[in-house]
Chain A
Amino acid sequence: KQEVTQIPAALSVPEGENLVLNCSFTDSAIYNLQWFRQDPGKGLTSLLLIQSSQREQTSGRLNASLDKSSGRSTLYIAASQPGDSATYLCAVARGNKLVFGAGTILRVKS
Chain B
Amino acid sequence: NAGVTQTPKFRVLKTGQSMTLLCAQDMNHEYMYWYRQDPGMGLRLIHYSVGEGTTAKGEVPDGYNVSRLKKQNFLLGLESAAPSQTSVYFCASSYVALVHTQYFGPGTRLTVL
Q: Is the CB of B106 within 8 A of A42?
A: yes
Q: Is the CB of B42 within 8 A of A102?
A: yes
CB distance from B31 to the nearest CB of A (A): 7
- Among the listed A32, A43, A46, which residue makes an inter-chain contact with B98, where contact means beta carbons less than 8 Å apart? A32
Residue positions of A touching B, CB distance < 8 A: 4, 31-32, 34, 36, 41-46, 49, 89, 91, 93, 96-103
Q: Is the CB of A100 within 8 A of B102?
A: no
When C-beta atoms are compared, the residue in chain A nearest to B58 turns out to be A97
Q: Is the interface of B mostly helix, strand, loop or mixed?
A: loop
CB distance from B67 to the nearest CB of A (A): 18
Q: How many residues of B contact A (CB 8 A)?
A: 25
When C-beta atoms are compared, the residue in chain B nearest to A93 turns out to be B98
Q: Is the CB of A96 within 8 A of B31?
A: yes
Q: Is the CB of B31 within 8 A of A45?
A: no
Q: Is the CB of B50 within 8 A of A96?
A: yes
B residues in contact with A100, CB < 8 Å: 42-44
Q: Is the CB of A43 within 8 A of B58?
A: no
- Whether, in the assembled complex, B48 has its beta carbon less than 8 Å from a beta carbon of chain A, the answer is yes
B residues in contact with A96, CB < 8 Å: 31, 48, 50, 56, 97-98
Distance of A32 Cα from B45 Cα, bound (Å): 17
Q: Is the CB of A101 within 8 A of B90?
A: no
Q: Which of B42, B56, B103 has the most CB of A within 10 A?
A: B42
Distance of A42 Cα from B90 Cα, bound (Å): 10
A residues in contact with B92, CB < 8 Å: 44
Q: Is the CB of A103 within 8 A of B42?
A: yes
A residues in contact with B59, CB < 8 Å: 97
User: When A43-B90, A97-B58 are in contact, do A89 and B43 touch as well, CB less than 8 Å?
Assistant: yes
Q: Is the CB of A89 within 8 A of B97?
A: no
A residues in contact with B2, CB < 8 Å: none
B residues in contact with A99, CB < 8 Å: 42
User: When A43-B90, A96-B31 are in contact, do A101 and B102 touch as well, CB less than 8 Å?
Assistant: no
Q: Is the CB of B107 within 8 A of A43?
A: yes
Q: Is the CB of B48 within 8 A of A97?
A: yes
